[in-house]
Structure 1
Amino acid sequence: MSNAMTADIVVIGGGMVGLASAIALRDRGLDVVLCDPGEARARTSYGNAGVVSRGSILSMASPGLWGKLPAYLRNADPGLRLRHRHLPRVLPWAAHFLAASRESAWRRTAAALAPLTAAAYGEHRRLAERAGTTHLLRHPGWLKLYRTEAALAGSALERDILAENGVPFEIVAGAAVRDLEPALIRPFHGAMLLPETGTIADPGGLVEACEGLFSGLGGRTLRGTVTRLAPAAEGWSVETAGARVAARQVVLAAGAASAEIARPLGYRFAFAAERGYHRHYALRPGSPALNRPVYDTGAGSILSPMGEGRVRVLSGVELDARDAPPDLRQIEAAAREAAGTVRLGAPLDNRPWLGSRPSTPDGLPVIGVAPRHRGLILAFGHGHIGLSTGPITGRLVADLATGREPAVPVAPFAPDRLLGWPRP
């Protein structure tokens, strides 16, 4: 290798989870090398809705999925688009996902995530104070919008689980929805306000600032895609196309690419890449600002304010290969619906953004020491809440690497749970 390095620990992945882990490990006095290709737009954290909510405890594997399954398979529901040619590749994940779509499993997932999401905003605030990005953080809550009485009634189990886990919410009825969010022009039957929710006005800017913080702490960054991860005499060897790093420990936090990197080590995780799109639009002149993110449940999409007069429209989930060509039909449909929800103006991007979220069947991230390899810490599979829970995950990774009691219980996130699916 033309470039050989040594370190105490290597972190693979430069999204929010990887960066927060690298920063926390530097804080513990470890010599850290961060490996990442350096493509800012390719990181899932870049394309997030910027929602940091205590209420993000409900996985996609919900009991209501069974009633929607025929529409999902026909691509008739805006919340999910399935590339049918890709279905054989995700069948193992899909089978386990369906097994997790029971009320008992939904409640179990929510109880496991509640301590993690409860700590999320406080960790973001502490990190932002160090990275100089507190101006990007707000705490306005966020709204889930329901177009019909039946849709609001259908959220009863969700509300029951939120209350069971101490997550506050308020039901807003009829015209009061517009009073709370004047930017809305579509009539909604009602909404659920989750007040304990923070927002990040520029997720990509936050990640870039954290890169600067890591560098300022003396952390080193190796630009490149990891081509090989293997045990070595003194710990681990991590290789890119032109460099190799020898380290005692490794953190695998490469998002949707993590399963591929772990596969040569013998790990076959039930895992899928949930692709998602976004595009930025201006609000029309004279339109009130959108004060907080809103999730239009009827459209299966989110509208999130991203600075003065700019709205990020985010699509639902697309199941396809990570490297498959973009299919813009879902984001185009989301934009059409968004134009009936707020006074949407011209697009501000030349093309929509596309990224892949790392998804586990039970909706729980993988956070823990690899079951068959000493010195390998796994931290991926956060799905839609990687940006939100990245800072607290970084703290947990540092706890595991230095032998401390984790700040949040990590037993429900144990890696070996996904090696013997489905769970009873």
Structure 2
Amino acid sequence: MAQPHIQQADVIVLGAGIIGVSVALQLQRRGRSVILVDRRGAGEETSYGNAGLIERSSVVPYGAPRELSKLMRYAFNLSADVRFDWLQMPRIAPWLWRFWRESAPKPLARAAADMQPLIERSVSEHEALMSEAGVLPQLRRAGWLEAYRSEKTFEHARGAAVALHQFGLKYEVLDRKALQQREPHISDALVGAVHWLDPATVADPGALVKAYASHFVDRGGLFLQGDAQLLRQEETGWSIVTDSGRVEAPEAVVALGPWSDTISRSLGYKIPLAMKRGYHVHFETDGDAQLNHPIVDVEGGFVLASMAKGIRLTTGVEFASRGSRPNPVQLDRTEPLARQIFPLRQRIEAKPWMGSRPCLPDMRPVIGRGYRHKGLWFAFGHNHHGLTLGPITGRLLAEMMTGEPAFTDPAPYAMERFG
């Protein structure tokens, strides 16, 4: 009886979001044969639904607030930008406590220093991959607007921008008149904005991931459908049964975003991964209204961005379990606020999109070796910045896996930090 065909490669990469596809491409560029495995198409989960920001200016991670008044508003779900599913509180309380402690000034400064080597290369690494994939014209280099409704918060934002001078970021402070000159269809409900100039944006992040995946395949890579939970350790490495048959490789990379803990936990790694869920919906615009830059309405707690499908309204954070039912109340709260600043018409989709952002309490991703297993590697937990950090994460992990000198010390991202 003939033996079933087994496909061999140097590396199996589990997950075809922006992180997994970037890892696969970067390994391929260094001569490794790679098989990419996902249960769906490329870029169809978390990577699909963000605001399209390649966030070069986010040099300080998103920490927990320290002000008691803001904490109380969050605790009672009175702010549109953060919502808690209180049924999940017993499970996520230890994570929140550690997140709050890591958000104190000194730990947050250390996190910023650790993340800077990744953040400062985020746009340039995307440019390199986009150029190779033939989609560089999709990159917009106009930055984004951090907008404010009150003079008090706007004044605080100006001071915060000055405090980031050490990072060499470029920005412009826009009063109401300058903001309306830059965005003629924005209402005067906004008193001003900080225009961050270093970041780049894309109008369809899901399509960008698909373009990267197509480039990977065009270069000889294999992209197969399969269930990552079928990954098995063998004497010679790792195997997984896909829809196209069995695949084997000496090394495997887990880059499953919010599902990464389904593998890490089963293999004995205790990684404190939490989900910050988010929602989006697209709108038609009124008349010839256009939005030239993504706008973060800081006090409103949402992002508006001009995307391929229309104007995308993206919510803030919902702390809930990965599998609990969607509750798009944040969209319902922020839609009237969005209509105050931009002339939106009806929703394009009948049902909002929901995704889960994989977050770790110390605001650093896991990038590196699975210290319990030979030939096992991980890349996940990018805390709102998966799109931003995909290509640079792929580069760092590929350098580690192939023995190249790493462009930065990978120690801050090691799994061992969680014990």
Please confirm whether the aligned pair reaches a TM-score higher than 0.5, indicating the same fold: yes
Which residue of the partner structure matches residue 383 of structure 2?
A: 383
Shift of 1:64: 3.6
Which residue of the partner structure matches residue 32 of structure 2?
A: 30
The verdict on how the C-alpha distance between 1:88 and 1:347 changes in structure 2, with shifts beyond 3 A counting, is same
More displaced stretch, 210-219 vs 124-133: 124-133
Contact 1:51-1:200 within 8 A present in 2 as well: yes
Aligned ranges 1:5-404 → 2 under 5 Å:
5-39=7-41, 42-64=44-66, 66-155=68-157, 158-239=160-241, 243-287=245-289, 289-307=290-308, 310-404=310-404
Q: Which amino acid aligns with 2:408?
A: V
Deviations 1:18-61 (A, max 9, x none): 00111111111111111111155741111111111211222222
Q: Distance in 2 between matches of 1:3 and 1:242?
A: 9
Shift of 1:204: 1.3
RMSD across aligned C-alpha pairs, in angstroms?
A: 2.0
Shift of 1:280: 0.8
Shift of 1:217: 0.9
Contact 2:18-2:43 within 8 A present in 1 as well: no
Q: Which amino acid aligns with 1:22?
A: A
Q: Distance in 1 between matches of 2:376 and 2:168?
A: 34
Q: Distance in 1 between matches of 2:159 and 2:402?
A: 40
Query: What runs of 5+ residues in structure 2 fail to find an aligned partner?
Result: none
Shift of 1:159: 2.5
Contact 2:158-2:194 within 8 A present in 1 as well: no
Q: Which amino acid aligns with 1:409?
A: D
Shift of 1:407: 2.3
Shift of 1:388: 1.2
% identical equivalent positions = 36
Q: Distance in 1 between matches of 2:379 and 2:248?
A: 20
Query: What runs of 5+ residues in structure 1 fail to find an aligned partner?
Result: none
Deviations 1:267-309 (A, max 9, x none): 111110111001111111032x11111100011110111148x
SS at match of 1:340: helix
Contact 2:170-2:197 within 8 A present in 1 as well: yes
Deviations 1:170-228 (A, max 9, x none): 22223222122212114222211110111101111111111211111111112022123
Q: Which amino acid aligns with 1:370?
A: G
How many correspondences in the alignment? 417
Contact 1:226-1:241 within 8 A present in 2 as well: no
More displaced stretch, 407-416 vs 216-225: 407-416
Per the normalisation by structure 2, the TM-score is 0.94
The verdict on how the C-alpha distance between 1:210 and 1:299 changes in structure 2, with shifts beyond 3 A counting, is same
Contact 2:99-2:361 within 8 A present in 1 as well: yes
Q: Distance in 1 between matches of 2:315 and 2:215?
A: 31
The runs of at least 4 aligned residues of structure 1 exceeding 4 Å deviation read: 39-42, 239-243
Contact 1:251-1:376 within 8 A present in 2 as well: yes
Deviations 1:130-150 (A, max 9, x none): 222223111001111111122
Q: Distance in 1 between matches of 2:175 and 2:116?
A: 27
Shift of 1:6: 2.4
Deviations 1:298-335 (A, max 9, x none): 11110111148x21110111111112111121112222
Aligned ranges 1:404-415 → 2 under 5 Å:
404-415=404-415
Contact 1:63-1:106 within 8 A present in 2 as well: no
The verdict on how the C-alpha distance between 1:40 and 1:401 changes in structure 2, with shifts beyond 3 A counting, is closer
More displaced stretch, 295-304 vs 146-155: 146-155
More displaced stretch, 8-17 vs 366-375: 366-375
Contact 1:79-1:299 within 8 A present in 2 as well: yes
The verdict on how the C-alpha distance between 1:167 and 1:79 changes in structure 2, with shifts beyond 3 A counting, is same
Q: Which amino acid aligns with 1:332?
A: D
Q: Which amino acid aligns with 1:415?
A: M
